[in-house]
Structure 1
């Protein structure tokens, strides 16, 4: 059953049908939120808040845009609010007890070694490039859906994707050259 039909049924009083939408989008939404938030607790809280907000505002949903994009846009806004709140709460203490805020390996969406290497590089890209690339190539969203999620025009989505792929290519080339040079250096040291 498509999203529009489920929404129609929920709005007609079959509120239990909303669980179908939650089940359909919960896992992909959590993967998307991992691109923005670092803490599993924040990710799960944000996803839950987004689903509640969507449910409360379901009568405002317009079928002019895909439901998934509308949900992701709401979740992204809530995630940005959490990031801003956390930034205000953080007091900078420079010592060894600081937690490493980079994503943990199990949070990387690729399971293979080569894919996790690519994911690490993606994490180092500016957030708008990484989010656009993730939504396009991992969530298989259209330009229009991505524009809705990121709240930018479609032309900017195309720019983000083009520049993001270019930065990714440059970084892969730079790292490949650096690693090959490093191996040659190690090889000459060992044999010498």
Structure 2
């Protein structure tokens, strides 16, 4: 029995939910962190969003019915929390994160809060290009390119049609290619 199957079995009995939750955290904390980090960028913000995602997961354990894979359900919650965070931040700051020069400067300097990015020029150029994508394209690109999810899995997470996802991914790749050619 793999880890997910064990967690799903534990979720069937409400008394086992604390054990299931601890297993979810230990198994998925790092993967969800990096998923959220690619969306919100900043480490401190990522920690906050990850904590909110785990709170939401805990509160909704009884709602997991097993209709989708466990990681798909977790990714959907984490992605939705990250997107909600970006919308709240955008409203409160009234800024566009599609054109946030501070994030690009942070990458160009290669230090500070962007230390998870290697100094490799190609990696930095790709990260800079991804930051310039519109929110939806950035999420789809990150899930497909970095997380290696299928379009069906991304569709479950984002609740978007596969056709729409393919269009967003294709548009994101084209924009990234154009941006990297300009640098």
- The answer, yes or no, to whether TM exceeds 0.5 is yes
Higher CA-based Rg: 1
User: 1:180: which partner in 2?
Assistant: none
Q: Check whether the contact 1:109–1:116 (CA below 8 A) recurs between aligned residues.
A: no
For the aligned residues, what is the CA RMSD?
2.5
Q: Check whether the contact 2:50–2:78 (CA below 8 A) recurs between aligned residues.
A: yes
User: 2:90: which partner in 1?
Assistant: 87
In 2, Cα distance between the equivalents of 1:78 and 1:134?
A: 15
Q: Check whether the contact 1:109–1:119 (CA below 8 A) recurs between aligned residues.
A: no
Deviation at 1:143, TM superposition (A): 0.9
- Residues 120, 108 of structure 1: CA spacing in aligned structure 2 closer, same or farther, 3 A cutoff? farther
Stretches of structure 1 that go unaligned for 5 or more consecutive residues are: 93-98, 176-192
Q: Does 1:17 align with 2:25?
A: no
Q: Does 1:75 align with 2:82?
A: no
User: Number of residues paired by the alignment?
Assistant: 169
CA deviations over 1:69-127 (Å, ceiling 9, x no partner): 221222222223322333333378xxxxxx93455545375423321221111111222
Stretches of structure 2 that go unaligned for 5 or more consecutive residues are: 96-100
In 2, Cα distance between the equivalents of 1:109 and 1:140?
A: 19
Deviation at 1:10, TM superposition (A): 3.6
User: 2:102: which partner in 1?
Assistant: 100
- Residues 66, 86 of structure 1: CA spacing in aligned structure 2 closer, same or farther, 3 A cutoff? same
- Residues 169, 116 of structure 1: CA spacing in aligned structure 2 closer, same or farther, 3 A cutoff? same
Q: Which runs of 4+ in 1 moved over 3 A?
A: 101-110
Of 27, 30, 36, which residue of structure 1 is paired with 2:30? 27
User: 1:2: which partner in 2?
Assistant: 3
User: 2:47: which partner in 1?
Assistant: 44
